[in-house]
Amino acid sequence: MIVLTDVSRTYPGGVAALDSVSLEVRHGELVAIVGPSGSGKSTMLNVVGTLDRPSAGRVEIDGHDVSKLSDNQLSALRATTIGFVFQHFHLAAKVTALDNVADGLIYTGLPPAERRRRAGTALRRVGLGHRVDHEPHELSGGERQRVAIARAVAGDPPLLLADEPTGALDSVSGAGVMDLLHELNGSGTTIVIITHDREIAAGLPRQVSMRDGRIVSDSGSEPGAERRGRGEEGGGRCVREPVESEVA
């Protein structure tokens, strides 16, 4: 699903946020990218999510070489392949949960009625079928994060990137969100969780630790380490050949 080969990202002033990072995440894995502030994990998310291009190296997402895609093709790839969940939800105020989720499908080209149908299905999937007509201010923090997750998975993307998904939640709500992410992974979605919380990371099958823009440890690459992602077990989504028309 994700292949990074000697990827670097240097910002003006010579700040190296990523320094020759190589990483492979297989279809169906559940992975934590963990590290302190300034370790490069958020830049990693931006590069993997094709929100930022690397300064050097190669990035492949679901078989697509990102360097060969135009900006429009990258937008299409994000719309069909990648779902994003952020710490602070990013829900539109005074807009119902249903429409917040449906609006996330605008760039898929689906007609409005189909977007709303899929939004309703996604909200039921995350246990919020009874809250579709509620606006963000009428929802708890945990419920707002569930709406954000529903928005991310409404288009059934094979890859979900979650940036500190429990960072703005109390422990009970955070645990509920993590349970939901485990359930989504169990249905075959590849999930990468960016976090500074080592307790959360320890509860995931694979932990990749970062510091100073480099990977310093990876439980999935240690000799004899068991990769418990469904892609290793033969479950989840199948690896397929890239279809150029999908990002044309």
Half-sphere exposure of 136 (CA within 13 A, CB side): 16
The CATH number of residue 28's host domain is 3.40.50.300
Instruction: Mention every residue, 6+ apart, whose C-beta is less than 8 A from residue 66.
Output: 50, 53, 59, 60, 74, 77
The verdict on residue 107 lying in a domain is: no
The verdict on residue 115 lying in a domain is: no
**Angle, CA of 59, 211 and 182, to the nearest 5°:** 65
pLDDT of residue 15: 87
Instruction: Report the number of secondary-structure helices (H) and strands (E) in the chain.
Output: 8, 10
The verdict on residue 109 lying in a domain is: no
Phi, psi of 60 (to 5 degrees): -120, 130
Answer yes or no: are the C-beta atoms of 136 and 144 closer than 8 Å. yes
The verdict on residue 29 lying in a domain is: yes
| Residues paired with residue 217 on neighbouring β-strands, in sequence order | 209
The verdict on residue 125 lying in a domain is: no
Q: Which two tokens stand for residue 124?
A: 């039921």
Report mean pLDDT in 10-residue bins for the chain, 248 residues: 97 91 96 93 94 95 94 90 90 96 90 96 94 96 94 94 90 91 94 92 95 94 44 37 40
pLDDT of residue 88: 85
pLDDT of residue 227: 39
pLDDT of residue 221: 67
The verdict on residue 108 lying in a domain is: no
Domain of residue 175, residue span? 2-90+157-247
The verdict on residue 123 lying in a domain is: no
What is the tally of structural domains in the chain? 1
The verdict on residue 134 lying in a domain is: no
